[in-house]
Amino acid sequence: MPTLYRLLTEEDTSAFCHKVSDALDKGWVLHGSPAYAWDHAAGVMRCAQAVTKDVNMPYSPDMKLGQQ
């Protein structure tokens, strides 16, 4: 069973929390801790969270991971 991987990123706002919550609601699982970094050019904090999901189909680079 293939495991898919996504790295969700966003500015450090509620939009990031909603993006992660949506992925969890669709069966994705947190993978590791979130990461934060200062985006000096934009003047904002950025967040990242890895998520994984086991699927019952062969992996293909053409997959739309956000729709899985």
Residue pLDDT, tens place only, 15-42 = 999 999 999 999 999 999 999 999 999 9
Are the beta carbons of 68 and 60 closer than 8 angstroms? no
Residue 68: is its pLDDT beyond 90?
no
Are the beta carbons of 65 and 28 closer than 8 angstroms? no
In terms of Cβ atoms closer than 10 Å to its own Cβ (0-12, 13-18, 19+), residue 13 is exposed
C-alpha separations of 53 from 8, 18, 21, 22, 48 in Å: 13, 18, 14, 13, 17
* Predicted TM-score (pTM) of this structure: 0.88
pLDDT tens per residue, range 1-12: 899 999 999 999
pLDDT tens per residue, range 50-63: 999 999 989 989 98
